[in-house]
Structure 1
Amino acid sequence: MTFTNFTKANNVYKHLELESPSSPKMVLKNPAKSEHYQNREPKTNTSIINGLNRGRVAIFIDGVNLFHAALQLGIEIDYLKLLCRLTSGSRLLRAFFYTIVDVGRPAPTRPRANDKQQGFLFWMRRNGYRVVTKEAQPTDNSKKPNLNVEIAVDMITLAPYYDTAILVSGDGALAYAVEAVTSKGGRVEVVSLRPMTSDSLIDVADYFLDLDSIKQEIQKDSHLGYNYRSLSNSHL
């Protein structure tokens, strides 16, 4: 995994080989639409990525979406493994991790709100990720916040500097940003859990990868744990 600076080189993508009849197909939520989807959905054979000249890649991870996907899969994500798997030997420009942070009122027994989460984010910053956060008060009546605007802006702003964007999210609200990137010649790969992924997002992506197909490669070993530092003893 190699980090590169903001200088985009000319890149010519290798054409994808035609899919053979034996190639695996995506599991569809509505079998009645299978013929229509086979004609328009991106291929999901994971071997394709390994043989593709993806140029410089930028990774955009919707942390909340990925967290819920991991819960559905019953795994805990190893974020170093995830970074390596998504990069797949390509040149990495940036890897962004977007998440909501708890800013609930500190308690006497917890002087810092959600210290465990802050320790995790500190670890992420020290291990190859650019962390983007949005504060939220944990209330029952307020609409759940998201970072779709931040993700979309970063994808479009950085588009001149990368060749391939890897979007880890299934939120259909990001389809317009994906289309904006692809319309300018960029390639976009969407990585998410299929039942949690909007069809509109798959429609505009060049490639879709189901997290279920790579869960063995990105889950944390049960006997290992992250060595998160407590922020009370750390200097940011």
Structure 2
Amino acid sequence: MTITTGSKAKNAYKRLEQETHLSGKILLKNGIKCEDTNKKEPMADSSIIDGSNRGRVAIFIDGVNLFHAALQLGIEIDYLKLLCRLTADSRLLRAFFYTTVDISRQTATRPRANEKQQGFLFWMRRNGYRVVTKEVQLTDNSKKPNLNVEIAVDMITLAPHYDTAVLVSGDGDLAYAVDAVTSKGARVEVVSLRTMTSDSLIDVADYFLDIDSIKHHIQKDSYPGYNYRTLSNSNL
């Protein structure tokens, strides 16, 4: 495997200028459908889009963190667009999606606690993602759960097999794992909402992309498209 090396810029906060609306034919890359990148306008900074020097890419998405970022932006994520955007023209090794699954008992007001979520995760598995879940029972007094340990272990374990890691999270607890990965020669790109991203995480990453700058290109279209149906009536 060819490792991309070079001097690492500390606290390199790279923000991409917004592109024009994506258009063009659909291409099949790494088993997923992506827009034709030849029809995009030039960008001021293509560090996270230009796949020529990224080598093999592994994507690690903190689903809970991304969900709250989307809430703050007032958008609903299109996960096919997101996967294409993060992969760009690079070779995708694997795309992980980490999330908690509520296994609390069903109640009168919530007879099917996580059926919709299970349908969403089923759809994700069928559309290019490796889903990693942690079962939790959510209560009013429970500590906010996360999968930082799972994300860190996967990033470090797979480090010899990829050249670039794309971490979609702003959690500063992952800074040590990012530093460990970069010390092995791999490149780490952090993608998150700036207001939700720890400075310590940006400091150890090679590049940072504010998800607010690409929100128009990763959100669901206003017209009806695919949806995440519950398992009971899913034909995926």
TM-score, normalised to structure 2, is 0.81
User: Which deviations, in whole Å up to 9, do the C-alpha atoms of 1:38-62 show, x marking residues without a partner?
Assistant: x842141432323451000000000
Residue equivalent to 1:147: 147
Take 1:110 and 1:139, find their aligned partners in 2: how far apart are those partners?
Answer: 14
Q: Which residue of 2 aligns with 1:48?
A: 46
Once the two structures are TM-superposed, the CA of residue 228 in structure 1 deviates from its matched residue by 2.7
Mapping 1:13-28, distance limit 5 Å? none
Residues 79-111 of structure 1: CA deviation (Å, up to 9, x unaligned): 000000001110000000000111121347876
For residue 95 of structure 2, what is the aligned residue in structure 1? 95
Within a 5 Å distance, the mapping from 1:43-82 to structure 2 comes to: 43-46=13-16, 47-49=45-47, 50-51=49-50, 52-82=52-82
Matched AA of 1:86:
L
Kept in 1, the 8 Å contact 2:10–2:206? The answer is no
Q: Are residues 65 and 158 of structure 1, via their aligned partners in 2, closer, same or farther at CA, if it must alter by over 3 Å? A: same
- 8 Å contact from structure 1 (residues 167, 191) kept in 2: yes
Stretch deviating more after TM superposition (170-179 or 130-139): 130-139
- 2:136 corresponds to which residue? 136
- Secondary structure of 1:48's match? coil
Secondary structure of 2:60 counterpart:
strand
TM-score by length of 1: 0.81
Q: Which amino acid aligns with 1:224?
A: P
User: In 1, Cα distance between the equivalents of 2:235 and 2:217?
Assistant: 33
The offset of 1:141, in angstroms, is: 1.0
Deviation of 1:14 (Å): 7.9
What is the alpha-carbon distance in structure 2 between the residues aligned to residue 66 and residue 12 of structure 1? 28
Q: CA deviation at 1:113?
A: 3.0
Identity of aligned residues (%): 78
Long gaps (5+) in structure 2: 17-44
Letter in 2 for 1:48: S
The count of residues paired between Structure 1 and Structure 2 equals: 206
Separation in 1 of the partners of 2:71 and 2:62? 14
Counterpart CA distance in 2 for 1:225 and 1:140 is 35
What secondary structure, in the 3-state scheme, does the structure 2 residue paired with 1:119 have? helix
Match of 1:174 in 2: 174
- Structure 2 residue identity aligned to 1:41: N
Residues of 1 paired with 2:144 and 2:75: CA distance?
Answer: 24
CA distance in 1, matches of 2:235, 2:214: 35
Task: Between 226-235 and 142-151, report the one with greater CA deviation.
Answer: 226-235
Counterpart-to-counterpart distance in 2, 1:15 and 1:81: 31
- Cα distance, 1:84–1:13 mapped onto 2, change above 3 Å: farther
- Report how far residue 225 of structure 1 moved: 3.8
For the 8 Å contact 1:62–1:98, the answer to whether it is kept is yes
